[in-house]
Each structure stands twice: as C-alpha cells, then as structure tokens.
C-alpha cells in the first residue's frame, strides 16, 4: 500500500470516527434531555432572574405575602401613577414602589361604599401591555392569591405602541413567562420562525429550556468562589446599584432597586409644578401603529376575559383618564374607534367597560404629564371608579360579597379557627 493510499485510509477512518462521535454525542444529548424531561434533579426557583425588574419585585412581594387579596389592579404606568401618588397623600408618607403594591385609598373607598373588608394588590407595571397583564394575573392566581374582582385600566398606548415589535420583548413578559405556562398563547406571541424555534427548543430540550437557570447558578458559584479567593478590602466600599447606573445608565434599563422609584406626599402647588412635557415620547409611541400589534394585544384582552370567566372573577375594564392634548397626538378618529371597540369587546366577552376619560372632570394640574395623573388626579379617578362600581349591578354584588367574605375570613383567622 502506497503512502497516498495509507493517508486516504487514515482520513476515511478519522471521518468515520468523527461521525460516530457526533452521533454518539447527539444520542447522549437527546437521552439526557429525554430523561430530565421526566425526572428533574434540580428544583429551580422560577422566581429568580438575572436582574430585578418591576415584575420581579411585584411577584416576589406577592409570593411572600401571607395576606388574602380580594381585588387586583392591572394596567400600565397610568394606573401605577394614579394609585401610588394618591396613596402617598392618603397615607401621608413616602412609598417605595419596589415593595409597595397596595391601593390603600381605593380599599378605603371600597369599604365605605360596599362594607366589609378589602385588600387590593396592584399588579400594574410601567409599560404593561395586555399580554403582560394576562401573564401577571395568571401568575397571581398560581400563587394561590385569587382575587374576586379585577380592575384593568387601559388607554390607547397599551394596544398600539409603535416602540414595541413583539409581545415577548417587554421586561414583564420575559420574566413572567418563567412563572406561567404560555403554551395556549405562544402562537400569538412568537410571530417569527426564529422565536417559534427558540420556544420549541426550550419546551423540548431540558438543558436549553433551563439554560438561564444554569447560567445564574454558575454565576453565583463563581461570585462566591471569587469572594473567598480574593476577599474585598475591609476599607473599600462595595460597588452599588447606584454606582452602576451612574456609570452605565443604558445597562439593564428595566432593572430597579429599593428606593429607586418613590411616591412621596405633595401639596397642590408642588404637584402642579412637577408637570413634565412628554410630547416627544408619545409622538414616537403613536407614530405608526401596527395593526398586527393591535390585533395581538386585543386578543390578550380577550384571553384575560376568558380567564376571569373560567376563574369566576369579576372583570372591570376602565378607559383611563388622559389629556385632550395626548388624544390629539393620535391619528384622526383613532381614539373614538378605540373606545367603541372596547365597548363592543365588553359586550362580546362579558366584562364591564367604563369610559372614565371625562375631560371635563380633570384639569392640567391633576396630571404629571399628558397621561399620568398626580396625587389629586389619582384621588379623583378612584372616587369616580368607585361611583361607577356602585352603579354596576354585577360589580356591586361581587364587591359586596367579596368584602363580607374577607371580613369573615379575617375574623375567623383572628379567633384561631379555620375558614
């Protein structure tokens, strides 16, 4: 056999060995994933996440809470601003919104209107879309906190935000999908073949689907090891979240920290003086509404309605107050079509819809900008909301019964008896 023939034979053997190794590795990978699909050796904490965004704080607060919540709020920053600012004045203290997810003034008004006891949990979050709200509500129910009534505050931005390309791109959705099975809605969320493939790989392959958990575990282990091998000098202050934000403001923009978002009491003069012009932001959001985004988010509103009906939760959808100036930024006729569409969806999907955007009820001094109510506008909104709930037969009955049940539950718990 010549040298050339020997080299060729050796090359063929190497090729066969390489192919055999690849097939063996692939078979081993598939076997390991198949085994782990039925037997999970590691119990991952799904509430953990690489960074602490608004949804992380909200769900971890809810998970730790021993209280029973009979009302829940959904919505974007327009709901957050209304409720938190109003509560800061009502409670007369500053509120750290990473740990404060109540609605104390609303609870007070509900007790006055319907009797009994109310304990509201605020699931609203800045930028929340109906897709985020759907997962947030399901995640709440998964923690055994099942509200009797849900009030969902909406406005056009929630359905037509031009800065959003996919429902899966938001900070709340990325986190909440760890807590909620999205098999029922994946087709509406993942439009591109790449995103659908990624979702499928995560569902089928254990190692791929849990790659984030492995990465977090490895990162924590490496940090602990480095802390032992290279201890921090005693007189050297630690590098804080605030230091990082000053140096790298664009890094992990969705992450927040204790005392990073505060709501403090304010008098009328201070609240009026803090008005901000956010015209540029909403010109961007309303610039080119995507019909597909609107269709997707409208579908998630229907999903919320179906979920509430299945769980026997009374759903109330509220068109939030915004300024005429902000409405004027929309293309002609869009706002009226939006309100009419929500009314029709309420009829079709069996939920109450209140149009509380009464321009005559609010002055510019009731807003912090063109869409967010301040302390005094927030109180007006809550008062108006409770008035409408009293006039709504279904909501009135649901709230009256819920308040009585929670009051009875708390009385029995205080006496040491089971409910």
Average pLDDT over residues 136-147: 94
Confidence at residue 10, expressed as pLDDT on a 0 to 100 scale: 59
Nearest alpha carbon to residue 60 among 74, 72, 48, 68: 48
Range scoring the smallest mean pLDDT among 26-30, 85-89, 198-202, 400-404: 26-30
Q: Tokens 């807590």 correspond to what residue?
A: 179
Percent of the chain with pLDDT over 90: 61
To the nearest 10 degrees (0 to 180), the angle between helices 130-142 and 291-310 is 20
Structure confidence by residue, pLDDT tens digits, 208-263: 788 888 888 888 888 787 777 776 666 667 777 777 778 787 777 788 899 889 99
- Is the separation of the CB atoms in 419 and 413 below 8 Å? yes
Does the pLDDT value for residue 5 go beyond 60? no
Q: Which residues are CB-contacts of 318 (< 8 A; sequence separation ≥ 6)?
A: 151, 152, 153, 154, 353, 354, 356, 385
Does the pLDDT value for residue 40 go beyond 90? no
Confidence at residue 90, expressed as pLDDT on a 0 to 100 scale: 98
Average pLDDT over residues 357-366: 95
Tokens of 238: 């630690």
- Is the separation of the CB atoms in 96 and 259 below 8 Å? yes
Q: Which residues are CB-contacts of 66 (< 8 A; sequence separation ≥ 6)?
A: none
Half-sphere exposure (Cβ direction) of 167: Cα atoms closer than 13 Å: 29
Does the pLDDT value for residue 416 go beyond 80? no
Nearest alpha carbon to residue 156 among 189, 130, 192: 130
Confidence at residue 75, expressed as pLDDT on a 0 to 100 scale: 97
CA 117 – CA 55 distance, rounded (Å) = 27
Residues 290, 294, 299, 305: what is their CA dihedral angle, to the nearest 10 degrees?
160
Q: For all residues of the chain together, what is the average pLDDT?
A: 88
Average pLDDT over residues 92-119: 97
Q: Which residues are CB-contacts of 85 (< 8 A; sequence separation ≥ 6)?
A: 263, 266, 271, 368, 373, 374, 375, 378
Q: Tokens 């997962």 correspond to what residue?
A: 135
Cα-trace Rg, the chain:
26
Does the pLDDT value for residue 391 go beyond 90? yes
- Is the separation of the CB atoms in 48 and 214 below 8 Å? no
- pLDDT-derived band of residue 168, with 50, 70 and 90 as boundaries? confident
Rank 19-33, 41-55, 295-309 by mean pLDDT and report only the highest: 295-309
CA 364 – CA 323 distance, rounded (Å) = 8
Confidence at residue 274, expressed as pLDDT on a 0 to 100 scale: 83
Confidence at residue 92, expressed as pLDDT on a 0 to 100 scale: 97
Helices within 157-290 (DSSP H only): 157-160, 171-176, 186-189, 193-204, 206-209, 211-229, 241-247, 268-273, 279-285
- Rounded to the nearest angstrom, the gap between the alpha carbon of residue 396 and the centroid of all alpha carbons in its chain is 27
> Per the CATH hierarchy, to which homologous superfamily does domain 67-192+262-415 belong?
SGNH hydrolase (3.40.50.1110)
Does the pLDDT value for residue 404 go beyond 60? yes
Confidence at residue 33, expressed as pLDDT on a 0 to 100 scale: 59
Q: Which residues are CB-contacts of 414 (< 8 A; sequence separation ≥ 6)?
A: none
Half-sphere exposure (Cβ direction) of 99: Cα atoms closer than 13 Å: 8
- Rounded to the nearest angstrom, the gap between the alpha carbon of residue 73 and the centroid of all alpha carbons in its chain is 11
Confidence at residue 4, expressed as pLDDT on a 0 to 100 scale: 62
Q: Which residues are CB-contacts of 86 (< 8 A; sequence separation ≥ 6)?
A: 105, 373, 375, 378, 379, 381, 382
More confident residue, 158 or 207: 158
CA 324 – CA 167 distance, rounded (Å) = 28
- Is the separation of the CB atoms in 58 and 101 below 8 Å? yes
Does the pLDDT value for residue 368 go beyond 80? yes
Confidence at residue 202, expressed as pLDDT on a 0 to 100 scale: 81
The DSSP symbol for 46 reads T
Does the pLDDT value for residue 9 go beyond 70? no
More confident residue, 148 or 198: 148
């Amino acid at each position: 056999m010549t040298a050339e023939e020997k080299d060729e034979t050796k090359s063929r053997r190497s090729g066969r060995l390489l192919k055999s190794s690849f097939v063996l590795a692939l078979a081993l990978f598939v076997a390991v994933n198949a085994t782990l699909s039925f037997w999970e050796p590691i119990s991952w904490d799904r509430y953990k996440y690489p960074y602490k965004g608004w949804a992380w704080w909200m769900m971890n607060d809810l998970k730790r809470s021993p209280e029973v919540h009979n009302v829940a709020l959904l919505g974007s920053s327009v709901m957050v601003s209304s409720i938190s600012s109003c509560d800061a004045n009502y409670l007369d203290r500053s509120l750290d919104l990473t740990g404060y997810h109540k609605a104390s003034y609303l609870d007070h008004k509900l007790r006055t209107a319907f009797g009994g006891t109310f304990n509201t949990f605020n699931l609203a979050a800045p930028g929340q879309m109906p897709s985020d709200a759907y997962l947030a509500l399901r995640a709440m129910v998964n923690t055994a906190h099942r509200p009797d009534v849900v009030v969902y505050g909406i406005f056009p931005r929630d359905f037509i935000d031009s800065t959003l390309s996919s429902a899966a791109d938001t900070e709340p959705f990325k986190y909440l999908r760890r807590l909620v099975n999205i098999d029922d809605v994946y087709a509406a969320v993942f439009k591109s073949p790449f995103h659908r493939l990624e979702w499928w790989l995560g569902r089928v392959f254990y190692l791929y689907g849990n790659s984030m958990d492995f990465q977090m575990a490895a990162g924590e282990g490496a940090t602990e090891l480095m802390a032992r091998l290279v201890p921090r000098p005693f007189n050297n202050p630690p590098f804080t979240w605030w230091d990082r934000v000053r140096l790298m403001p664009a890094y992990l923009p969705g992450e927040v920290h204790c005392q990073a978002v505060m709501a403090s009491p304010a008098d009328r003069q201070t609240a009026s003086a803090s008005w901000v012009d956010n015209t540029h932001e909403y010109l961007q959001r309303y610039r080119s509404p995507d019909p597909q985004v609107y269709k997707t988010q409208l579908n998630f509103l229907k999903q919320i309605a179906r979920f509430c009906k299945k769980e026997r939760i009374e759903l109330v959808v509220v068109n939030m107050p915004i300024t005429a100036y902000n409405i004027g930024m929309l293309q002609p006729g869009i706002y009226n079509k939006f309100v009419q569409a929500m009314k029709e969806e309420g009829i079709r999907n069996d939920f109450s819809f209140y149009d509380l955007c009464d321009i005559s009820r609010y002055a510019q001094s009731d807003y912090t900008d063109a869409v967010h109510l301040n302390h005094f506008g927030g109180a007006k909104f809550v008062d108006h909301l409770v008035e409408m709930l009293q006039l709504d037969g279904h909501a009135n009955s649901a709230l009256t019964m819920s308040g009585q049940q929670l009051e009875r539950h708390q009385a029995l718990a205080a006496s040491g008896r089971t409910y």
